[in-house]
Homo-oligomer: A and B are copies of this chain.
């Protein structure tokens, strides 16, 4: 019954994450000007957040896939606190809507507070690493597509979770993942809607673990838990 375990690192990628600085098209909108003034920073260094910027953002394309930094925040809190992460078995990347990639050191203690998290990510977009002077930063940011990230990481397999995928029992998915040395697991970190065509093409397998769409943090914690169980960590 026990699968052959080869896992060295599970590469977790939050894909097409709804995390970006305020896009240039709406910098001059009164709502953005006001927000920029309150925060004492130019819009280029502020995160788009639909809770505050909906009026300015509502005409942007793909609105349902943008301006939700909270999704990345809550999911990373789950991921960084997981036993799998603490055991050093996770590599963590956040790929964003505008094709940036954030690498997250697994030992990062992320701010628990949403606003401090946003401040940290804003600093990251400005300085490309956090802390800015650190030789070993906790977060780094690069302009990079998902394809480029996968070409760089060269995982053994790429599993994409999507409701359109083949329905798979959670345990079976975990048993499949641990049979690879460096599998990549792609989870969408946006509110609703489909991945880009390109993203589907990058996947070796597309699976679904439930009949309904689940929150990013719920999906992620389920898969990490199942992998922890298969590995005997829990």
* Chain A residues at the B interface, C-beta cutoff of 8 Å: 51, 68, 70-71, 74, 77-78, 81-83, 86, 112-116, 169-171, 209-210, 212, 214-215, 217-218, 221-222, 225-226, 228-229, 233-234
Contact = CB atoms under 8 A, between A and B. Distances in A.
A110 to B, nearest CB: 11
Contacts of A74: 74, 77-78, 112
Contacts of A210: 83, 233-234
Given A51-B113, A51-B116, A234-B169, A81 B215 contact: yes
Q: Kindly name the residue among A68, A210, A212 whose own CB sees the greatest number of chain B CB atoms within 10 A.
A: A210
Q: How many copies of the polypeptide does the oligomer hold?
A: 2
Nearest to A169: B234
B86 A212 contact: yes
Judged by DSSP, the binding face of A is helix
Contact of A82 (B209, B218, B228): B218
B234 A222 contact: yes
A171 B234 CA distance: 8
Nearest to A71: B112
Nearest to A212: B86
7 contacts: A68-B112, A115-B115, A169-B234, A170-B229, A170-B234, A218-B221, A222-B234
Given A170-B225, A170-B229, 17 more contacts: A74-B112, A77-B215, A78-B78, A78-B217, A81-B215, A82-B218, A83-B218, A86-B212, A114-B114, A115-B115, A209-B234, A210-B234, A221-B221, A222-B225, A222-B228, A225-B226, A226-B234
